[in-house]
Amino acid sequence: MEHIKIFKGDIIFTERPEVFTTYKDGFVVVKNGTILAVYKDIPESYKGLPVENHRDKLIIPGLVDLHVHGPQFDQVGLGMDKELIDWLNIYTFQLESKFKDVEYAKEVYTRFVEALVKGGTTRVCIYATIHKQSTELLYDLLIHKGIGAYVGKVNMDQNGGINLQEDTLESIENTEALIKKYKNHSMVKPIITPRFAPNCTTALLKALGDLAAKYNIPVQSHLSENKKEVEWVKELFSDCSSYGDVYNKYGLFGQKPTLMAHGIYLVEEEIEMLRNQEVTIVHCPDSNMNLASGIMPTRRWLNEGINIGLGSDVGGGHLLSMTQTMVRAIQNSKVLQSITGEKSLSTSEAFYMATKGGGSFFGKVGSFEKGYVFDALIIDDEKWTKERLTIQERLNRFIYTGDDRNIISRYCNGFYIK
């Protein structure tokens, strides 16, 4: 029994999107980082083992951010006066070009990783930049920190401007080198990351699809975020029947586990491919509002059977907080409700997206069911709250009004994160 850890507290999680599962003064029993069971009362066989007692605190799954740009942490809250393509060209590509300088990258990435973990994110899918050395540094910072991550060296060999564009071959070589270096790491792994279709030649897309297949590596990119972007893709890839088809043609659309950020303006063909090829859409509501991209019809995509996770999308989004991202997802769906009558997201649905839903990209992550790894946050809410409210109401209040100050401990894969 020596590898068993028992955590006691007010436990809440979502097995299904529709409903919260709660245990007042419950116990999570963890063996070698994996959950054996959750109990209302501790069974006889475990009695006598030490218990980490988080009395009156909430114990919730660690939060999963499926879409964030590490370098753009340097521009949060800035340059919010443009829509996507101008925002990229005028602000973002200028910023990212600075990450050629490893010292610059180190300063930003160090702050980024600290803030990410402080905010309660324990699993994350990150876009770095095109730069190999800076990206290695980000891998190493995350490994040192102990959270779970997919990190993509960004690939872009066209339309990046003179400072943020790679030679096609160099792009492929650097990507493969990073894959070889990190593919066997248990917690921080590579992900194929064509920035978005307009930034990639067909030669590059084909090579990236081949790398994904060769090394069995997942894929992430952007899809149908902005109307002008969709038009541009149509012009650039006139032989493809849709934006999604560009990726699909090159083995980058569900042939390996795939994340596609945004997916606001999807056509029927894409919806079918997303469902049938089990591509996860990452909803980034703050970013969609900040860049005036539009509102993702979340309920419609859910009804279509598409898996949806949540992303902060810093720097299009301005906050790393996944709780505020949940709130914004709910708010976005309520704006649609006020226009179309479509049923908005419930808190449990948004919470599911940022825990078990998004966590599924990492394996058995994001729930406290048997067999899941123990990723968890300990939440200290205000004294008066505990006395008056149910566990579910307390979680609601934390989601809507809490911040990193309420998170007093973080665990990933069973380990305490310092």
The least CB distance from residue 89 to a copy of itself, in Å, is 19
Closest CA to 225 of 271, 269, 284: 284
Vertex 414, ends 54 and 190: CA angle to 5°? Answer: 135
Choosing from 94, 202, 346, 409, the residue that interacts with a copy of itself (CB under 8 A) is 346
Q: Are 352 and 332 in contact (CB under 8 A)?
A: no
x/- track of binding to a copy of itself for residues 46-85 (CB under 8 A): ------------------------------xxx-xx----
The least CB distance from residue 391 to a copy of itself, in Å, is 13
Choosing from 94, 168, 241, 331, the residue that interacts with a copy of itself (CB under 8 A) is 331
Please count the CA atoms within 13 angstroms of the CA of 220 that sit on its side-chain side: 28
In whole angstroms, what is the distance from residue 121 CA to residue 323 CA? 10
Q: In this chain, which stretch among 20-28, 36-44, 133-141, 283-291 interacts with a copy of itself, using CB under 8 A?
A: 283-291
x/- track of binding to a copy of itself for residues 351-370 (CB under 8 A): --------------------
> Taking CB under 8 A as the rule, does residue 334 contact a copy of itself?
yes
> Taking CB under 8 A as the rule, does residue 290 contact a copy of itself?
yes
12 phi/psi in degrees, rounded to 5: -145, 135
Q: Are 345 and 330 in contact (CB under 8 A)?
A: yes
In whole angstroms, what is the distance from residue 147 CA to residue 384 CA? 32
Residue 292: alpha-carbon gap to chain centroid: 21
x/- track of binding to a copy of itself for residues 369-408 (CB under 8 A): ---------------x----x---x--xxxxxx-x-----
The least CB distance from residue 207 to a copy of itself, in Å, is 35
Alpha-carbon radius of gyration of the chain: 21
- Of 242 and 290, nearer to a copy of itself (C-beta) is 290
- Of 202 and 331, nearer to a copy of itself (C-beta) is 331
The least CB distance from residue 276 to a copy of itself, in Å, is 29
Please count the CA atoms within 13 angstroms of the CA of 62 that sit on its side-chain side: 33
The least CB distance from residue 107 to a copy of itself, in Å, is 7
Longest dimension (CA), the chain: 68
- Of 212 and 407, nearer to a copy of itself (C-beta) is 407
The least CB distance from residue 98 to a copy of itself, in Å, is 11
> Taking CB under 8 A as the rule, does residue 325 contact a copy of itself?
no
Closest CA to 327 of 398, 230, 227, 224: 398
β partners of residue 222: 261
- Of 107 and 167, nearer to a copy of itself (C-beta) is 107
Choosing from 143, 203, 230, 295, the residue that interacts with a copy of itself (CB under 8 A) is 295
What distance, in Å, lies between the first and last C-alpha atoms of the chain? Answer: 25
Q: Which residue has the tokens 């991202």?
A: 325
187 three-state secondary structure: coil
> Taking CB under 8 A as the rule, does residue 337 contact a copy of itself?
yes
Site for a copy of itself in 94-153 (CB under 8 A): 107, 111
Residue 1 tokens read as 């029994």
Q: In this chain, which stretch among 125-133, 147-155, 272-280, 287-295 interacts with a copy of itself, using CB under 8 A?
A: 287-295
In whole angstroms, what is the distance from residue 101 CA to residue 163 CA? 12
Q: Which residue has the tokens 């994350």?
A: 124
Q: Are 342 and 296 in contact (CB under 8 A)?
A: no
Please give the size of the binding site for a copy of itself, defined by CB under 8 A.
39
353 phi/psi in degrees, rounded to 5: -60, -35
> Taking CB under 8 A as the rule, does residue 339 contact a copy of itself?
yes
- Of 77 and 363, nearer to a copy of itself (C-beta) is 77
Contacting residues toward a copy of itself, per CB under 8 A: 76-78, 80-81, 107, 111, 286, 289-295, 318-319, 327, 330-332, 334-335, 337-339, 344, 346-347, 384, 389, 393, 396-401, 403
